[in-house]
Structure 1
Amino acid sequence: MSQPLSNRQRITDLIARFNQQSGRALVDLPAWYFCDNEQDANECAMLVLNGIKQATTSSLYWFKANNEILPQVGDLAIFSDWHGKPLGIIENIAVTITAFNQITEEYAALEGEGDKSLEYWQRVHWDYYQRELEGSGYQCHPEMPLVCEQFKLIFKGSE
């Protein structure tokens, strides 16, 4: 009986299949899941796979607090389920810094979550940013700068 694949092996296999299909020669890609809890992470991943979720948004403060490099147009990333199983590869097609209170109905719809309304987006994201910034020294406020990433799904994993 064969052993189940580790997530690291699944990522390696996903990159190899992507390279074969795209003609690229990537060795590694960042891999992460959406959100901060299992239900939302898995739901968002399925929304991406179904072509509904086409954007994600973190606070600029999170990048600063964690000494992370800001995403750029053209960046590729593997998204996974909550348990780290890789599901596909996305490519950033737009990255902007926008204040929380300047997010538009159109952008909220691109996030693809809930009823896709701005009101829903504001409610769930405000709660998320409160958790994201806890203990960071940064506080949520209406003018808080957000890193808005629009992406396209360029490769679906298959297992």
Structure 2
Amino acid sequence: MRIADDDAVVRYWESVRAKARIGRAAAYVGLDDISAVPPPAISFGATPEEAQETLERVLAGTKSATSTAVAELGPQDNPPRVGDLWIVLDGNEHPRALIRTASVLTTAFRDVTPEFAALEGEGDGSLEAWRAAREAYYRAELGEDGFSDDMEILCETFQVIDPREPELPAMFE
């Protein structure tokens, strides 16, 4: 997962904050820092190609969940919470969607359900495809010894609040 912080993210946030029901007034009077700062901007995947492909599944509605091994979280990382907002970037790190965390469940890898696997949309959407893809990913990220069927997984579902068409390059400035 890559993270970007730039003017395009701020412009996008300003254009969608109302859809997330986050107003400006509280930030102006110092009551609410969340409305003053855009949510984290992320892309799903390790490469621009993966980020683009996964974003397309999010926008098409075939991906409405994601999972993270608890072991992947560092001491400064906060686990997702219901209501968290995220700006999703495309393969070129342009903001394309605003999502809101709908549910979070921590469970063992072996106990992930077929229903959750279908929401995450790996491969053909089956639990077997999910397990194969996620096991390979976790072994690569955490090492062979870091993976087990008992490892804790954060299973997060989300709703798309705003899809955005890609920005076209400016012809004249």
- TM-score tier, shorter chain, comes to 0.7 to 0.9
Query: Percent same amino acid at aligned positions?
Result: 32
Secondary structure at 1:77 match in 2: strand
Query: What is residue 85 of structure 1 aligned with on the other side?
Result: 94
Query: What is residue 13 of structure 2 aligned with on the other side?
Result: 15
TM-score, normalising length from structure 2? Answer: 0.79
Secondary structure at 2:93 match in 1: coil
Give the CA deviation at 1:21: 4.5
Q: Which whole-Å deviations, capped at 9, do the CAs of 1:113-159 have from their partners, x for residues lacking one?
A: 31001111001111111122249xx7100111001110000011233
Q: 2:48 aligns with which of 8, 18, 38?
A: 38
User: Hey, what's the Cα distance between the residues in 2 that align with 1:139 and 1:67?
Assistant: 20
Instruction: Give, as a single letter, the amino acid of the residue that structure 2 aligns with 1:98.
Output: T
Question: Would the aligned equivalents of 2:5 and 2:41 in 1 still touch at CA under 8 Å?
Answer: no
User: Hey, what's the Cα distance between the residues in 2 that align with 1:97 and 1:21?
Assistant: 29
Secondary structure at 1:83 match in 2: coil
Structure 2: unaligned runs, 5 residues or longer: 24-34, 168-173
Query: What is residue 29 of structure 2 aligned with on the other side?
Result: none
Question: Would the aligned equivalents of 1:108 and 1:117 in 2 still touch at CA under 8 Å?
Answer: yes
User: Hey, what's the Cα distance between the residues in 2 that align with 1:28 and 1:34?
Assistant: 18
Secondary structure at 1:98 match in 2: strand
Query: What is residue 141 of structure 2 aligned with on the other side?
Result: 132
Give the CA deviation at 1:46: 0.5
Let me know the Cα RMSD of the aligned residues. Answer: 2.0
Query: What is residue 144 of structure 1 aligned with on the other side?
Result: 151
User: Hey, what's the Cα distance between the residues in 1 that align with 2:128 and 2:66?
Assistant: 16
Q: Taking CA–CA contacts closer than 8 Å with sequence separation of 6 or more, which of the two structures ends up with the larger relative contact order?
A: 1
Question: Would the aligned equivalents of 1:72 and 1:92 in 2 still touch at CA under 8 Å?
Answer: yes
User: Hey, what's the Cα distance between the residues in 2 that align with 1:66 and 1:122?
Assistant: 26
Q: Select the structure of larger CA radius of gyration.
A: 2
Instruction: Give, as a single letter, the amino acid of the residue that structure 1 aligns with 2:15.
Output: R
User: Hey, what's the Cα distance between the residues in 1 that align with 2:141 and 2:7?
Assistant: 29
User: Hey, what's the Cα distance between the residues in 1 that align with 2:19 and 2:108?
Assistant: 38
Question: Would the aligned equivalents of 2:19 and 2:161 in 1 still touch at CA under 8 Å?
Answer: no
Structure 1: unaligned runs, 5 residues or longer: 1-5
Question: Would the aligned equivalents of 2:20 and 2:161 in 1 still touch at CA under 8 Å?
Answer: no
User: Hey, what's the Cα distance between the residues in 2 that align with 1:21 and 1:72?
Assistant: 19
Q: 1:62 aligns with which of 68, 72, 85?
A: 72
